[in-house]
Amino acid sequence: MKIIFNGMPLNEQSQPIKSLSTNGKNLLAYNYAINASSAIIEHCGNFISELEFEIERTHASENEALAFVFNHYTTLNSSKSASLILQDEKTQKVLLEIPNAILSSIKINLLPLSTKTKYEFTGLTK
């Protein structure tokens, strides 16, 4: 599976995705007529999607790994709301798209010759 954010592949060279999890919530509006027991609940038409995953990358040297950490972190943190796409590598079929995803959290662990990056994205879908 390919993951692409703002046109940038996050798992280039087909690195496997680890610990993928999703969470979805409907946005609801509560109209209280008299009290909570007589509230009218309405669906607002939007759905909050949260996607969390981790990618481990190998690097040729410790310097290359360190350079990746700073470049990747800087590049992603400068991104505003953008499209997040999960795509099947073989068929190129889009499995999930969050058109206005926001990188809500990024954590990069630096190991001697590898990095582990944990991404958390949030966005509205319909």
Q: CA nearest 121: which of 49, 19, 55?
A: 49
Main-chain phi, psi angles of 16, to 5 degrees: -70, 150
pLDDT of residue 122: 94
Give dist(CA 87, CA 97) in Å, integer: 9
CB 62 within 8 A of CB 85: no
Domain spans of the chain?
2-125
Helix, strand or coil, per DSSP, at residue 14: helix
Lateral strand order in the sheet of 17-31: 8-9, 2-5, 82-87, 94-110, 114-125, 40-58, 17-31
Per-residue confidence of the chain (126 residues) as pLDDT tens digits?
899 999 999 987 768 888 899 888 887 777 776 766 677 778 777 888 899 999 999 999 999 999 999 999 888 888 888 999 999 989 999 998 999 999 999 999 999 899 999 999 999 876
Give dist(CA 3, CA 12) in Å, integer: 9
pLDDT of residue 106: 93
Torsion over CA: 96, 102, 104, 109 (sign): positive
Helix, strand, coil share (%) of the chain residues, nearest 5: 15, 60, 25
Looking at domain 2-125, its CATH class is: mainly beta
Q: What is the pTM of this model?
A: 0.81
Cα 50 to chain centroid distance, Å, stands at 7
Give dist(CA 99, CA 72) in Å, integer: 21
